[in-house]
């Protein structure tokens, strides 16, 4: 199966996925990085790993529809089976999501549905919860929503600073995301009534 990773920033989860693939933990082909930011660190990471890069910038297109149509054409050119969002800072349209329903994964630094949005780690820390975590889920038409694939918790200790919490979250993300991708590639995931079931076959 061919995988496309979408990223807008430094790409630490992308690096974890690359490393898992190099270790043989992912039985698929990391075929493409799609990036909407010329300055993103993910681009240099992809080039070092000899992964093709498509820089597709929203500002080069008159509308979001045209921007997404270019992405779709690129995905078709590379025969992409799975899209992995790794810090991609744009919401995909409902039409795009429906086209790739059940084939778009996202990772979020909280136990969804708690602390949605772009500041989940800070929000959990400020709120004073004792437990937060990481969620890997299939993407649907709503933000930070969709069938959950994997979730794992992280305890927030009294001594934790926001930076320590972020480091713990990122460490867990780098473990959990490759695991979820491996389940997909191994055809172990089934979506039933908007829930993900793990196949034992």
Q: What CATH class does 1-100 carry? A: alpha beta
Average pLDDT over the chain, rounded to whole? Answer: 94
139-160 mean pLDDT: 94
Which of 3.40.50.170, 3.30.70.360, 3.30.565.10, 3.40.640.10 would CATH assign to domain 106-201? 3.40.50.170
Give the model's confidence band at 189: pLDDT under 50 very low, under 70 low, under 90 confident, else very high: confident
Q: Supply the pLDDT for residue 201.
A: 53
159-187 mean pLDDT: 96
86-115 mean pLDDT: 95
Active-site residues, by number, are 108
Contact 149, 193 (CB under 8 A): no
Report the run of H or E that residue 167 belongs to, with start and end.
Answer: helix 162-185
Given a cut of 90, whether residue 198 has pLDDT beyond it is: no
> Which one-letter DSSP state was computed for residue 99?
H
Residue limits of CATH 3.40.50.170 in the chain: 1-100, 106-201
Give the model's confidence band at 200: pLDDT under 50 very low, under 70 low, under 90 confident, else very high: low
Give the model's confidence band at 113: pLDDT under 50 very low, under 70 low, under 90 confident, else very high: very high
Contact 4, 71 (CB under 8 A): no
State the greatest distance between any 2 C-alpha atoms of the chain, in Å, as a whole number: 50
Query: Taking the C-alpha atoms of 194, 140, 110 and 121 in order, what is their torsion angle to the nearest 10 degrees?
Result: -170
**Tens of pLDDT along 19-77?**
999 999 999 999 999 999 999 999 999 999 999 999 999 999 999 999 999 999 999 99
The token duo for 144 is: 């930070």
């Amino acid at each position: 199966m061919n995988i496309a990773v979408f990223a807008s920033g430094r790409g630490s989860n992308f690096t974890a996925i690359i490393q898992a693939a190099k270790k043989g933990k992912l039985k698929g082909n990391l075929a493409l990085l799609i990036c909407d930011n010329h300055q993103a660190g993910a681009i240099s990471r992809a080039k070092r790993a000899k992964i093709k890069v498509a820089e597709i910038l929203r500002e080069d297109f008159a509308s979001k529809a045209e921007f997404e149509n270019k992405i779709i054409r690129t995905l078709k050119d590379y025969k992409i089976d799975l899209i992995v969002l790794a810090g991609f800072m744009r919401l995909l349209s409902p039409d795009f999501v429906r086209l790739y329903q059940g084939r778009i994964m996202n990772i979020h630094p909280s136990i969804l549905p708690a602390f949605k949005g772009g500041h989940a780690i800070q929000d959990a820390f400020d709120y004073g919860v004792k437990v937060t975590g990481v969620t890997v889920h299939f993407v649907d038409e709503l933000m930070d929503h969709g069938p959950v694939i994997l979730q794992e918790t992280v305890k927030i200790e009294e001594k934790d600073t926001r930076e320590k919490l972020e480091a713990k979250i990122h460490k867990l993300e780098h473990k959990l995301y490759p695991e979820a991708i491996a389940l997909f590639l191994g055809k172990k995931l089934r979506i039933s009534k908007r829930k993900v079931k793990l196949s034992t076959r």
